[in-house]
Structure 1
Amino acid sequence: MDLGLKGKIAVITGGDSGIGKATAKLLALEGAKVTIIDKTSENLQMAAEELRKSGEIFTVQADLTQSKEVEAAKEQIIERFGTVHILVHAAGITGATGDFLELSDEEWYQTIDVDLMATVRTCRAFIGAMRQTGWGRVILVSSEDALQPYPEEIPYCACKAAILNLAKNLSKAYAKDGVLVNAVSPAYIATPMTDAMMEKRSKQLGVSFNEAIDSFLDEQRPHIELKRRGKPEEVAAVIAFLCSEQSSFVVGSNYRVDGGSVASL
């Protein structure tokens, strides 16, 4: 299937690893000119070296919790490419975890700043260019946690639910301008974020990394019918479709890539 992405200008936050990196590779292979944004220069350059085997990759270092840095990133990208057609916002953190009654305001604010407000900042920065060209795709990476929350991750869950609401609102605001906004909600994907979770679990339980994964699936994610972690490439494939010409009648939707983890309709 021709996704119609040749020559499109794509921006991917969190593009140095996990879902963001897998998406950058796939879009580059489809002929898009891809910019990956992340906070750490060393990680960006390592990812870019690998991704350039697939196509044109540009890197921009930026802290998405800082509005000035997001604006500076936009200016660099517009200066190089002239416009932006696609935004995939995949950056995020697990954030503060634990008993709700013990979480401080500061822990809440940190998670909100990185997971929700960074999404707001990047959308605010790049949607304008898409409106000017009359063609755009925005894909916000949410989570199964937005629909099926877990008490030990309440700040993260709340932010991911807010991202779904943000995607729906933006879809209603800008579809008339040719900018189609959608969300993707993965569950338990093999990324550095879940690697860190499983490393912590393996130490707590005194078991191997793989045993930690198996016990987590049994005890915490029993509705993942495929009984494994998802692959970043499996999420990237859905995102690539939503970036494409083939998704021209898809707007304001949430695509769950969760192995069946969300137990309800």
Structure 2
Amino acid sequence: MDLGIAGKKALITGGDSGIGWETAQLLLDEGATVVISDLDAAALDKAASKLAAEEGRLFAFAADITSLDSLAELDANVQEAVGDIDILVQSAGVTGAQGLFHEISDEGWTKTIEIDLLGPVRLIRQFLPALRTGGWGRLVLLASEDAVQPYDDELPYCAAKAGILALAKGLSRSYASEGLLVNAVSPAFIHTPMTDAMMAKRADELGVTKVKAIESFLAEERPYMELGRRGEPAEVAAVIAFLCSERASFVNGSNYRVDAGSVATI
């Protein structure tokens, strides 16, 4: 399918692996120019080297989305490389503080909210002027099933992702008349470095293999994931790429779940 984004310019945070990396490859395949960003410069350069792209259509700049100074530097680098962006995909984030509510300190809450909610706020504020200039834009925010189906052992993450849904919906009402469409995507238990780390920790705690840890997690913690497996990053990236496209010209303020049925309600 031609997504109608050849020649568009996209910035993808969290681009060194997983969903962000797969989204970058799809947008490159569709003819877009792509800038990927993440915190670790070495990991980012390695990720960029594995992306298939024509010369001059892929750039990589390390940045910390929680830092105003780092975001300003990223903006300057992006402007020099490609000019104003048309597409922004915010995929950077962490699981954050885990444990039952009474076990999580202020520091755990603050750090999680700082990265998973205030980071996206700061990123969007930095790049919103560019997204508003062309009369056509796409902003896609990565939320989570946890935003609408919170789990008691990761409430800071759940609260931050619920905030992302509210942020996306509010922004969608502010700028659609200018041609900037804003949507969210909510994955569930995707095969990424973040869930790999979660399952390695679970395997250690249970004294089992990681395969067994995944099986028990699906059975005990995610019983509504009817496909009985982790999702693949490319399966989420396909939905993100659609929302970044001209094909999604009447989609605004939505939340697309990519979760194998994990969220139990309609």
Answer whether TM exceeds 0.5 for this pair.
yes
The one-letter amino acid of 1:135's match is: W
Q: Tell me the equivalent position of 1:167.
A: 168
Q: Tell me the equivalent position of 1:22.
A: 22
Q: Tell me the equivalent position of 1:38.
A: 38
Query: Structure 1: which 5+ residue stretches go unaligned?
Result: none
Alignment of 1:96-135 (within 5 A): 96-135=97-136
Q: Percent identity?
A: 57
Q: For 1:151, what is the secondary structure of its paired residue?
A: coil
How far apart, CA to CA, are the structure 1 residues paired with 2:79 and 2:210? 43
Q: Tell me the equivalent position of 1:85.
A: 86
Q: Per-residue displacement from partner, 1:141-197 (whole Å, max 9, x unpaired)? A: 000000100000000000000000000000000101110000000000000000000
RMSD over aligned Cα atoms: 1.0
How far apart, CA to CA, are the structure 1 residues paired with 2:104 and 2:265? 29
Q: Tell me the equivalent position of 2:215.
A: 214
Q: Per-residue displacement from partner, 1:15-62 (whole Å, max 9, x unpaired)? A: 001100110111111111110111101100100000145772101111
How far apart, CA to CA, are the structure 2 residues paired with 1:193 and 1:82? 32
Q: Per-residue displacement from partner, 1:73-131 (whole Å, max 9, x unpaired)? A: 01110121121000000000000011211211111110011000110011111121121
**Worse-superposed segment, 160-169 or 71-80:** 71-80
Whether contact under 8 Å (2:28, 2:53) holds in the other structure is: no
Query: Structure 2: which 5+ residue stretches go unaligned?
Result: none
Instruction: Sort the Cα spacing of 1:139 and 1:215 in 2 relative to 1 into closer, same or farther, 3 A.
Output: same
Q: Tell me the equivalent position of 1:75.
A: 76
Whether contact under 8 Å (2:117, 2:161) holds in the other structure is: yes
2:148 corresponds to 1:144: no
The one-letter amino acid of 1:70's match is: L
How far apart, CA to CA, are the structure 1 residues paired with 2:26 and 2:210? 29
How far apart, CA to CA, are the structure 2 residues paired with 1:115 and 1:214? 27
The one-letter amino acid of 1:175's match is: A
Q: For 2:88, what is the secondary structure of its paired residue?
A: strand
Q: Per-residue displacement from partner, 1:203-222 (whole Å, max 9, x unpaired)? A: 11111111111000000000
The one-letter amino acid of 2:207's match is: G
How far apart, CA to CA, are the structure 2 residues paired with 1:247 and 1:126? 21
2:41 corresponds to 1:48: no
Give the deviation of 1:261 after TM superposition: 0.1
How far apart, CA to CA, are the structure 1 residues paired with 2:249 and 2:236? 19
How far apart, CA to CA, are the structure 2 residues paired with 1:20 and 1:199? 22
Structure 2 length-normalised TM? 0.98
Whether contact under 8 Å (1:29, 1:54) holds in the other structure is: no
How far apart, CA to CA, are the structure 2 residues paired with 1:119 and 1:230? 24
How far apart, CA to CA, are the structure 2 residues paired with 1:218 and 1:81? 46
The one-letter amino acid of 1:211's match is: K
The one-letter amino acid of 1:131's match is: R
Q: Tell me the equivalent position of 1:233.
A: 234
Q: Tell me the equivalent position of 2:158.
A: 157
How far apart, CA to CA, are the structure 2 residues paired with 1:181 and 1:237? 17
Q: For 1:132, what is the secondary structure of its paired residue?
A: coil
Whether contact under 8 Å (2:59, 2:81) holds in the other structure is: no
The one-letter amino acid of 1:24's match is: A
